[in-house]
Structure 1
Amino acid sequence: MSARLKLTLSYAVIVVVSGGLLLAAVGLFLLRYVPDTVDFFPNRGDLSRAFVPVASMVMLVLLAFGLGAGWLLAGRMLAPLDRIGDAARLAAQGSLSHRVSLAGPRDEFRDLADVFDSMLEQLEAHVAEQQRFAANASHELRTPLAISQTLLEVAEADPDRDVDALIARLREVNTRAIELTEALLLLSRADRRTFPREIVDLSLLAEGAVEALLPLADRRGVAVEVGGAPAPVLGSAALLPQLVTNLVLNAIVHNLPAGGAVAVRTHSMPQAVALVVENTGEVLPAPLVATLVEPFQRGAERTRGDDHAGAGLGLAIVDRITQAHGGTLVLTPRPDGGLIVTVWLPHPYPAAPPA
Structure 2
Amino acid sequence: MTSRGAAGGKVQGMDRQPGLSVRLKLTLSYAGFLMVAGTLLLAAVWLFLLRYVPDRATLTSEDASGLKGVFPIRSHLLNEFAPRAAVVMVILLVFGLVGGWLLAGRMLAPLTRITDATRLATHGSLAHRIRLPGRKDELRELADAFDGMLARLEAHVAEQQRFAANASHELRTPLATAQAVLDVARSDPSRDPAEVYARLHAINARAIDLTEALLLLSRAEQRSFTREPVDLSLLVEEAEETLLPLAEKRGVTVEDFEDFEDFEGEPATAHGSPALLLQMTTNLLHNAIVHNLPAGGTVHVSTAAGPEHVELTVENTGERLSPELLATLTEPFRRGTERLHDDHAGVGLGLAIVKAIVRVHDGTLTLAPRPAGGLRISVRLPVAPAPHPYDRAHTEQFRTATSE
Question: TM-score w.r.t. structure 1 length?
Answer: 0.91
Give 1:179 shift.
Answer: 0.8
Which piece of structure 1 moves more, 113-122 or 260-269?
260-269
Contact 2:232/2:303, CA 8 A, preserved across alignment: yes
Q: What RMSD in Å do the two structures reach over aligned CA positions? A: 2.1
Structure 2 counterpart of 1:4, from 15, 23, 26: 23
Between the aligned partners of 1:275 and 1:105, the Cα distance in structure 2 is 43
What whole-Å deviation, never above 9, does each CA across 1:239-286 have from its counterpart, x for those lacking one? 011111111111111112222222222222333222222222222223
Which piece of structure 1 moves more, 41-50 or 79-88?
41-50
Between the aligned partners of 1:128 and 1:275, the Cα distance in structure 2 is 30
Contact 2:271/2:385, CA 8 A, preserved across alignment: no
**1:45–1:348 CA distance, 2 compared to 1 (3 A):** same
Q: 1:107: which partner in 2?
A: 137
Contact 2:334/2:349, CA 8 A, preserved across alignment: yes
Partner amino acid for 1:175? A
**1:17–1:271 CA distance, 2 compared to 1 (3 A):** closer
Q: Secondary structure, in 3 states, of the residue corresponding to 2:312? A: strand
Q: Specify every segment of 5 or more residues in structure 1 that has no aligned partner in the other structure, as ranges.
A: 351-355
Q: Secondary structure, in 3 states, of the residue corresponding to 2:106? A: helix
Which piece of structure 1 moves more, 340-349 or 5-14?
340-349
Percent same amino acid at aligned positions? 63
What whole-Å deviation, never above 9, does each CA across 1:208-245 have from its counterpart, x for those lacking one? 11111111112222222232222221111110111111
Between the aligned partners of 1:46 and 1:259, the Cα distance in structure 2 is 112
Are 2:320 and 1:283 equivalent residues in the alignment?
A: yes
**1:210–1:30 CA distance, 2 compared to 1 (3 A):** closer
Between the aligned partners of 2:81 and 2:315, the Cα distance in structure 1 is 93
Give 1:132 shift.
Answer: 1.3
Quick check: which has more Rg, 1 or 2? 2
What whole-Å deviation, never above 9, does each CA across 1:167-211 have from its counterpart, x for those lacking one? 211111111111111111111222222211112121121111111
Q: Secondary structure, in 3 states, of the residue corresponding to 2:332? A: coil
Q: Secondary structure, in 3 states, of the residue corresponding to 2:255? A: strand
Q: 2:270: which partner in 1?
A: 233
Structure 1 counterpart of 2:78, from 34, 48, 51: 48
Q: What count of residue pairs does the alignment treat as equivalent?
A: 349
Give 1:31 shift.
Answer: 5.2
- Correspondence list, 1:1-355, <5 A: 1-30=20-49, 33-37=53-57, 43-226=73-256, 227=263, 228-300=265-337, 302-304=339-341, 306-349=342-385
Partner amino acid for 2:223? R
Give 1:118 shift.
Answer: 1.4
Contact 1:302/1:309, CA 8 A, preserved across alignment: no
Give 1:36 shift.
Answer: 3.5
Q: Secondary structure, in 3 states, of the residue corresponding to 2:379? A: strand
Q: Specify every segment of 5 or more residues in structure 2 that has no aligned partner in the other structure, as ranges.
A: 1-19, 60-69, 257-262, 387-404
Between the aligned partners of 2:339 and 2:349, the Cα distance in structure 1 is 12
Question: TM-score w.r.t. structure 2 length?
Answer: 0.81
